[in-house]
Every structure is written in structure tokens, then in C-alpha cells.
């Protein structure tokens, strides 16, 4: 017996009607279980997060990772510390939405406190090839005016594409002044999911709003850290990454374009809800 479209519309309306936030995001199994997420950021303070989630009655998986530095092929061991608090705020957002993910911290700032493009590309490759992560979050970027060299830009694009062709979902934060300032890799929208900030009543809400190569908008406020309450794309990207982790825990084998389509369809359900 074949399924027939409903009387009111075509088959796509039927599919759309099935892909609801209730079924995909609020399923009890949508916890992030079985999904590995790499945060390419400034390191994560594991002790702070463990204590925070213990107080909530939740246990998180131990966080693995490495510290990436210029001129070194192998990352230095991650010892549960942050280079700056930024990465811990990002990790807290992902874990708040998908507490059962397995986190990898790729610290690309390191003790020197600044980050180079080569180091980010090295961390991307490591997260894909060595840690086999399914999701990578990049709450960082290089403004367009600082990446003028076409060759360098192409090199960066290839590093992002490596993720796409290995079924890895990469979430990249737009520049906070988007669209006045464009930044990479967020502007490489097709092989990754680019995220701008907005305010939503529920952190699980988001929108598809294509504007100057940036496709999605997610909740731009975090919960942990001194600047978490200030709207920032740095906090928006991990929100959408956490939402994707929830979806992937229902079906871990989904490809990046499948997840992107699901996110797009899900966003239609939020369209009529008024923003916070």
C-alpha cells in the first residue's frame, strides 16, 4: 500500500506536518546521546561545567580535547582548563540543550591568547579525521578585510569542505556586526551552517533568514560567564549546534544537507511565534 497525499495539500505538506519541534526536539531521546561535538574555541573549564550540571542533577560525559598551537602538528594534551572563559560559555550552551553529547575541546587560542588561521584549519582537520566528530562549532571568525588573499580564503574553504564531505556538520558564527562586516568561515554558507544572533523566547527556537550569505538565526544569549547575557553570535552558533545534536541523537547518520533541510523545515514552525 502506498501513502497518499492528504486532501488539503501535497506530499510535502504531509512531511512538513510530521517534522514538528515536538517530535524532533522534545522527544525524550533527543538529548545529544551518541553525538560527538567539537568546540573549536578557547578551551573549556571542565570542573566548572561538571559542578554546574551536578547542581542541576545532570551528569555530563568527561570532556576530551587538545590544545592546538602554531608550528606543531600534534595538539598538546587538554587538561580540563580554558585559555579564556569564552569556550566554557559556548560549551555550557551546547550542554544545556544537549547534555548527553560527548564534547571535544579544540583550544586554538592556547596560552598565547591569540589564534591563527592555520591553527583553526589544523583543529578542523583533527576534529574530523582523528576525533571523528559529527558536529563542529566555530564561535569565531576572520573578518573579510583580514582574509583578502584568495589563496588563503580558498584554503580555508577546502578545510570546511573536508567536514562536509565527511558528513560533519559545521556551525559558524557570523560577525556580530553582520551584515556590515562579513567574516569567514560563516560566509562559506553552502558547506556549513552559518548562524546570526537574535532573541527568542525559547532557546530551542531559531529562524531561517537568509541575509548576506548567513542563513540561520539562533538565540544569542548564554547562561554562564560575565558576557553571556550580552547578545552575541558566539552564543547563537552553539544554540543551533545543540539543537542539531538533539536531532542527530534520534538518527546519528543524517548527512549535513539532511540536517540543514530539517532545520529549515523546523524553522517554519517557529515563524508565526513572536520573538522575545
Partner 1 sequence: MAPTDDAVETILIVDDEEPVRRTFREWLEGAGLNCRILAAADAEAALVKANEHTIDLAILDWNLGAGNDGLRLLEDLYLFNPDVVAIMITGFAQQATPLDAMRMGVRDYLDKNQDLNRESFLAAVGRQLHRIRPAKRERRLHASLIALREALEKILPLVQSAQALQDPVPLPQAIHSLLHFLLRSTGGTDGVLLLRSYDAEREPQETCRVYDASGAPVTAELVPFARSLAGTVVSLQEPYAITNLGKAAADGAVELQPFERGRQSLLAAPIAVAPGVQVVLELFDKKGAPGATGNTAFTVEDQRLAAAAADLGAEMLRQALAERQMQQVLIQAVEAALEASASITTTLQGTARERQEQPPPAPVLERLRETLNENLAAGGDAADTLRLAEAIRVLAVRHGPGAVEHCIRVVESVRALLDAATGEGETRP
The residue within the footprint of partner 1, chosen from 53, 61, 227, 265 (CB under 8 A), is 227
Looking only at the bridges linking them, the beta strands covering 102-107 and 135-138 are unpaired
> Is 173 an interacting residue with respect to partner 1 (CB under 8 A)?
no
* Min dist. Cβ of residue 138 to partner 1 (A): 13
> Is 89 an interacting residue with respect to partner 1 (CB under 8 A)?
yes
Tally of CB atoms within 10 A around 80: 17
> Is 43 an interacting residue with respect to partner 1 (CB under 8 A)?
yes
Looking only at the bridges linking them, the beta strands covering 169-173 and 193-198 are parallel
DSSP states of 191-258: TSEEEEEE--SSTT-EEEEEETTEEEEEE---SSSTTTTS--HHHHHHHHHHHHHHHHHH-TT--HHH
Q: Rounded distance, CA 249 to CA 244, Å?
A: 9
* CA–centroid distance for 65 within its chain: 16
Name which of 33 and 92 has its Cβ closer to partner 1. 92
The residue within the footprint of partner 1, chosen from 46, 122, 176, 217 (CB under 8 A), is 176
Name which of 36 and 46 has its Cβ closer to partner 1. 46
* Min dist. Cβ of residue 224 to partner 1 (A): 5
The residue within the footprint of partner 1, chosen from 31, 36, 46, 88 (CB under 8 A), is 88
Name which of 85 and 256 has its Cβ closer to partner 1. 85
Tally of CB atoms within 10 A around 184: 22
* Min dist. Cβ of residue 110 to partner 1 (A): 9
Place of cell 576572520: 142
Among left, alpha and beta (phi > 0; psi -120 to 50; other), residue 113 is left
Name which of 150 and 180 has its Cβ closer to partner 1. 180
> Is 163 an interacting residue with respect to partner 1 (CB under 8 A)?
no
What would you measure as the largest C-alpha separation in the chain, in angstroms? 64
Q: Rounded distance, CA 195 to CA 238, Å?
A: 9
The residue within the footprint of partner 1, chosen from 28, 62, 77, 113 (CB under 8 A), is 113
> Is 42 an interacting residue with respect to partner 1 (CB under 8 A)?
yes
> Is 86 an interacting residue with respect to partner 1 (CB under 8 A)?
yes
> Is 111 an interacting residue with respect to partner 1 (CB under 8 A)?
yes
* Min dist. Cβ of residue 246 to partner 1 (A): 24
- Do 23 and 15 meet the contact criterion of CB atoms below 8 Å apart? no
- Which residues would be at the binding site for partner 1 (CB under 8 A)? 41-43, 45, 48, 51-52, 81-89, 109, 111-114, 116, 140, 176-177, 224-230, 232, 234
Amino acid at each position: 500500500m502506498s501513502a497518499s497525499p492528504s486532501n488539503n495539500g501535497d506530499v510535502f505538506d504531509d512531511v512538513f506536518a510530521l517534522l514538528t519541534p515536538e517530535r524532533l526536539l522534545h522527544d525524550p531521546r533527543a538529548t545529544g546521546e551518541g553525538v560527538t561535538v567539537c568546540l573549536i574555541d578557547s578551551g573549556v573549564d571542565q570542573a566548572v561545567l561538571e559542578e554546574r550540571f551536578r547542581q542541576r542533577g545532570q551528569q555530563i560525559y568527561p570532556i576530551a580535547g587538545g590544545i592546538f598551537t602554531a608550528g606543531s602538528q600534534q595538539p598538546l594534551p587538554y587538561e580540563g582548563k580554558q585559555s579564556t572563559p569564552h569556550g566554557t560559555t559556548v560549551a555550557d550552551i551546547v550542554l544545556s540543550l544537549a547534555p548527553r553529547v560527548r564534547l571535544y575541546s579544540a583550544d586554538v587560542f592556547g596560552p598565547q591568547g591569540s589564534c591563527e588561521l592555520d591553527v583553526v584549519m589544523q583543529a578542523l582537520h583533527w576534529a574530523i579525521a582523528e576525533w571523528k566528530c559529527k558536529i563542529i562549532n566555530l564561535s569565531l571568525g576572520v573578518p573579510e578585510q583580514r582574509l583578502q588573499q584568495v589563496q588563503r580564503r580558498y584554503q580555508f574553504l577546502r578545510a570546511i569542505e573536508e567536514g562536509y564531505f565527511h558528513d560533519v556538520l559545521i556551525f559558524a558564527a557570523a560577525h556580530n556586526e553582520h551584515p556590515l562586516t562579513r567574516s569567514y568561515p560563516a560566509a562559506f554558507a553552502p558547506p556549513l551552517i552559518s548562524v546570526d544572533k537574535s532573541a527568542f523566547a525559547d532557546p530551542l527556537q531559531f529562524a531561517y533568514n537568509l541575509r548576506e550569505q548567513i542563513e540561520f538565526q539562533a538565540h544569542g544569549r548564554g547562561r554562564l560567564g560575565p558576557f553571556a547575557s550580552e547578545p552575541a553570535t558566539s552564543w547563537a552558533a552553539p544554540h543551533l549546534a545543540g539543537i542539531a545534536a538533539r536531532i542527530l541523537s534520534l538518527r546519528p547518520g543524517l548527512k549535513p544537507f539532511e540536517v540543514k533541510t530539517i532545520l529549515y523545515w523546523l524553522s517554519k514552525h517557529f515563524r508565526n511565534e513572536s520573538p522575545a
